[in-house]
């Protein structure tokens, strides 16, 4: 029996994103996104795959809502595909795209599942990228037009809005390292992109509120607690730098603290910013970015242990990250460190006082396959989820206003540059037949929701 009981009203959900599950890439007037272009560029995605079909959720959503219902989900976090709504990025709104999400939201509500709608989960319309993408300020204006179109249509029924998912990934993986679409490798461009992403967040909040009377609006950041590999001054400084690069660069401006001065200095010293610093930031931008929101979403997967290593500037990387070798890792190579979730929740609450927090993603990639009877005994995922929920519970005990938790992900899906090789789902998807099989973790999650709690006692991982 669970001994860690969550507060009454705690929201239990699961999350996905449009490009990772929808498929139907060419249907109902959808335009091209940067991920379509990226996937079609040889060598960008490990298994050469794309989201063209993915989980075919665009057609199978009634079945997927029935699955959510069976699992007892109270909320579902999904994203809207910008290229379905405004195929050229700006200008004409595609009513067929809006109609799809309109029907989908109605069906969720009819099933008594609360929609949490993310506006941007990385599928920028390619025509916008052709004009400079997030490195250009006008992309923030385009985003506001898109937010206006979606919130005008759905704002009477959707009450939970997330402007952006993980702007660190959208800017740094997209424009600095090039591991994600649009595949650019230019640190200065990535810093401009990060600013325009955050600016578009702030600019769209009042627009969403105007269209959705009961809206609660927030942004989702992926946060990674950093630990110095040793007590040496160099490692501690590398840790400060990593934390600034990953966490504070996004948290600080969103909570009205400007961009961190130490990072601006580091970036000027490294030549990523001009000597005058943040030349692309206009006077009113920071107030706009710091527009008060109703909650912050935190995506947590792992921590990083950081050591100082001088690497050639040409490699275009931050100081090297060194993952603790003695730890357990998931199949994608990320360390399992549940206490990092407790730590980051407490830190965000104490440093920034957001008022309300959701864990908008947490989960693990394990490839456990169906056995001969067709069941998926993903014991390690159950252990991962249970330990992270226990950590979340400890954070609540410490006073963190955590209002809900979303498992990543409802379904196995297209894992970006890894293609279909990594499986984060609590539901197995057979990509040949599109059959869905709830894994043991899904059944465990159903019971957890029913009991509104987890057991603190560790299970033994055997699979
Ligand atoms: O699949 C992604 C998701 O799109 C964003 N957060 C992390 C997940 C796992 O990598």
Q: Could you read off the pLDDT of 62-99 as tens digits, one per residue? A: 999 999 999 999 999 999 999 999 999 999 999 999 99
| pLDDT bucket at 325, cuts 50 / 70 / 90 | confident
**Which amino acid residue places its CA nearest to atom 4 of ligand 1?**
17
Tens digits of residue pLDDT in 420-442: 999 999 999 999 999 999 999 99
Residue 299 near ligand 1, beta carbon < 6 Å: yes
Examine the pLDDT at 456 and tell me if it is beyond 50: yes
95: annotated active-site residue = no
The stretch 218-244 carries a mean pLDDT of 95
Q: How many Å apart are CA 2 and CA 459, to the nearest integer?
A: 12
Q: How many Å apart are CA 74 and CA 404, to the nearest integer?
A: 10
- The CATH class, in words, for 4-462 is alpha beta
361: annotated active-site residue = yes
Please enumerate in sequence order all residues whose Cβ is within 8 A of that of 211, keeping only pairs 6 or more positions apart, or say none: 148, 151, 152, 155
Tens digits of residue pLDDT in 345-367: 999 999 999 999 999 999 999 99
Residue 408 near ligand 1, beta carbon < 6 Å: yes
| pLDDT bucket at 459, cuts 50 / 70 / 90 | very low
| pLDDT bucket at 313, cuts 50 / 70 / 90 | low
Tens digits of residue pLDDT in 297-310: 999 999 999 998 76
Question: What pLDDT, on the 0 to 100 scale, is given for residue 323?
Answer: 76
Test site for ligand 1: of 173, 415, 423, most ligand atoms within 8 A of the Cβ: 415
**Which amino acid residue places its CA nearest to atom 1 of ligand 1?**
415
Distance 164 CA to ligand 1 centre (A): 13
In degrees and rounded to multiples of 5, residue 218 shows phi and psi of -150, -175
Please enumerate in sequence order all residues whose Cβ is within 8 A of that of 378, keeping only pairs 6 or more positions apart, or say none: 366, 368, 439, 440, 441, 463
Question: What pLDDT, on the 0 to 100 scale, is given for residue 460?
Answer: 45
pTM: 0.97
Distance 20 CA to ligand 1 centre (A): 9
Task: Measure Cα distances from 384 to 221, 338, 341, 342 in Å.
Answer: 21, 8, 12, 14
Question: What pLDDT, on the 0 to 100 scale, is given for residue 310?
Answer: 67
């Amino acid at each position: 029996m669970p001994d860690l009981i969550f507060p009454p009203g705690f929201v239990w959900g699961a999350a996905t994103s449009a490009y990772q599950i929808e498929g139907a890439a060419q249907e109902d007037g959808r335009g091209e996104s940067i991920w379509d272009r990226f996937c079609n560029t040889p060598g960008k995605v490990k298994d050469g795959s794309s989201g063209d079909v993915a989980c075919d959720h665009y057609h199978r959503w009634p079945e997927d809502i029935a699955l959510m219902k069976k699992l007892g989900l109270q909320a579902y976090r999904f994203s809207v595909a910008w290229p379905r709504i405004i195929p050229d990025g700006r200008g004409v709104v595609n009513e067929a795209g809006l109609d799809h999400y309109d029907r989908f939201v109605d069906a969720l509500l009819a099933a008594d599942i609360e929609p949490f709608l993310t506006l941007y989960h990385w599928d920028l319309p390619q025509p916008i990228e052709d004009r400079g993408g997030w490195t250009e300020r006008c992309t923030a204006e385009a985003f506001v037009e898109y937010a206006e179109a979606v919130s005008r249509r759905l704002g009477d029924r959707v009450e939970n809005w997330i402007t952006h998912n993980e702007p660190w990934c959208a800017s740094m993986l997209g424009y600095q390292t090039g591991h994600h679409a649009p595949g650019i490798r230019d640190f200065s461009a990535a810093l401009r992109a990060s600013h325009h992403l955050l600016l578009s967040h702030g600019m769209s909040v009042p627009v969403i509120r105007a269209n959705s009377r009961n809206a609660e609006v927030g942004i989702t950041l992926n946060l990674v607690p950093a630990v110095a590999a040793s007590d040496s001054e160099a490692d501690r400084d590398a840790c400060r730098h990593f934390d600034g690069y990953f966490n504070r660069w996004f948290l600080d401006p969103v909570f009205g603290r400007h961009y961190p001065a130490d990072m601006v200095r580091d970036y000027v010293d490294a030549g990523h910013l001009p000597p005058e610093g943040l030349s692309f930031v206009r006077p009113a931008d920071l107030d706009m970015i710091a527009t008060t929101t109703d909650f912050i979403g935190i995506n947590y997967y792992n921590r990083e242990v950081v050591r100082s290593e001088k690497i050639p500037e040409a490699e275009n990387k931050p100081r090297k990250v060194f993952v603790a070798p003695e730890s357990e890792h998931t199949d994608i190579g990320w360390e399992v460190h549940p206490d990092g979730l407790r730590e980051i929740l407490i830190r965000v609450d104490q440093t920034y006082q957001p008022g309300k927090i959701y864990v908008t993603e947490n989960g693990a990639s394990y490839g456990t396959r169906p056995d001969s009877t067709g069941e998926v005994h993903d014991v390690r995922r159950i252990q991962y989820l249970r330990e992270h929920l226990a950590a979340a519970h400890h954070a609540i005990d410490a006073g963190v206003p955590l209002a809900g938790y979303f498992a990543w992900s409802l379904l196995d899906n297209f894992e970006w540059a890894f293609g279909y090789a990594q499986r984060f789902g609590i539901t197995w998807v057979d990509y040949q037949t599109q059959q869905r099989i709830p894994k043991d973790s899904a059944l465990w999650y159903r019971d957890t929701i029913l009991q509104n709690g987890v057991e603190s006692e560790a299970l033994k991982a055997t699979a």
